[in-house]
Amino acid sequence: MPAILRHAGQRLATTLLVLIGAVALLFVLTLFISGNPAQVLLGPRATPEAVRAFAEAMGLDRPVHERFALFLWNVLRGDLGTDVVSGRPVATLVAEVLPYTVTLTLSAIAIAVLFGVPLGCYAATHPGSALDRATAAVSIGFIAIPNFVVAILLLLVFSIWLDWFPVLGVSRSGDLSDQLARLVLPALSLALTWIGYIARLLRASLLEVLGEAHIRTLRAYGVPDRTIVYKYALKPAAIPTVAILGLGIGRLLGGAIFAEIVFARPGIGTLVYDAISSRNYPVVQACVLVVVALFTLTNLAVDLSYAWLDPRIRKAGDR
């Protein structure tokens, strides 16, 4: 069996274990959360009878290990459970909002790469220049400012003062330009931090690669600097950045909650936020499962991409 397939198989098995571990951890954590879920869901005026009925419907009258086993069994059958508030399948709830979060996350990553990579490349090829120093300051600024502050500032500048983009995050389906317009600010609010990360990380790793022997050889052969940077140095230098991006997607999935709340967008973030606030455990469990699955699968893809990015890794894997 080729090494790459063996590696992929091992990572898939690890992914499954991580998923089960995450769900188990969540079950344990729910035991420590104060507040009766049924009471919270039904609000301050609920009768004790209604609270009892709801608790029963949520399965809270069963032992935790039984609930855990039942949940795992249902997941294996493709059933994420039923939302006890609306009575709708949790899988449907997740499927309704997941595209919004995935679109937002991917857009943020795309913006981060589009701006972060050129900035990182420039800084690496012009170390110590005024633009390099400015890029460093701006990058650190981007990293330091929390997402929700950035989101509010973007709204003030681009929606209120300049009137370029709408405030609320989604529009009616069918109007693509409006949908894109409503995606820009939420995606940018998430991306800014990552522009800084990518620029700084890429600069450091590119400087390291540019000092390696094969780059010196290329220079000795008279290969133009730009070709050296973009064709020969960028891909191996991108490996740490890609690794961070893999983790970043996980953080963005979690961080999307701020953008979704501030821009009033539907998404997995707002779904899980509401579900946690109301102790709607079936929805929380399903959302965590989906986010963990996306996170681990993304990292699996990132792991596999190293071989594509660096022939030395590919060849080492084949030996």
Of the candidate spans 19-27, 83-91, 130-138, 197-205, the one that interacts with another protein by CB under 8 A turns out to be 83-91
Nearest residue (CB) to another protein, 165 versus 295: 165
For residue 138, state whether it binds another protein (rule: CB under 8 A): no
Of the candidate spans 6-14, 17-25, 86-94, 194-202, the one that interacts with another protein by CB under 8 A turns out to be 86-94
User: Which listed residue (135, 193, 278, 298) binds another protein by CB under 8 A?
Assistant: 278
Tokens matching residue 211: 């000092």
Q: In whole angstroms, how close is the CB of 74 to another protein at the nearest point?
A: 18
**Please, which residues bridge with residue 82 across strands?**
89
Nearest residue (CB) to another protein, 18 versus 243: 243
For residue 226, state whether it binds another protein (rule: CB under 8 A): yes
For residue 48, state whether it binds another protein (rule: CB under 8 A): yes
Provide the total of helices (H) and of strands (E) in the chain, helices listed first: 14, 0
What is the x/- site pattern for another protein, positions 165-204, by CB under 8 A?
Answer: xxxx-x------xx-xx--x--------------------
CA-closest candidate to residue 284, choices 40, 50, 17: 40
Could you tell me if 116 and 197 are in contact, meaning their C-beta atoms sit under 8 angstroms apart? yes
Phi-psi category of 96—alpha, beta or left, where left has phi over 0 and alpha has psi -120 to 50? alpha
C-alpha 236/C-alpha 241 separation (Å) is: 10
Nearest residue (CB) to another protein, 69 versus 149: 149
User: Which listed residue (60, 187, 209, 271) binds another protein by CB under 8 A?
Assistant: 271
Q: State whether residue 163 is helix, strand or coil.
A: coil
C-alpha 251/C-alpha 286 separation (Å) is: 18
For residue 53, state whether it binds another protein (rule: CB under 8 A): yes
**Please, which residues bridge with residue 89 across strands?**
82
User: Which listed residue (105, 205, 241, 270) binds another protein by CB under 8 A?
Assistant: 270
Q: Report CA Rg, the chain.
A: 24
User: Which listed residue (8, 18, 20, 50) binds another protein by CB under 8 A?
Assistant: 50
For residue 44, state whether it binds another protein (rule: CB under 8 A): yes
The type of residue at 265 is R
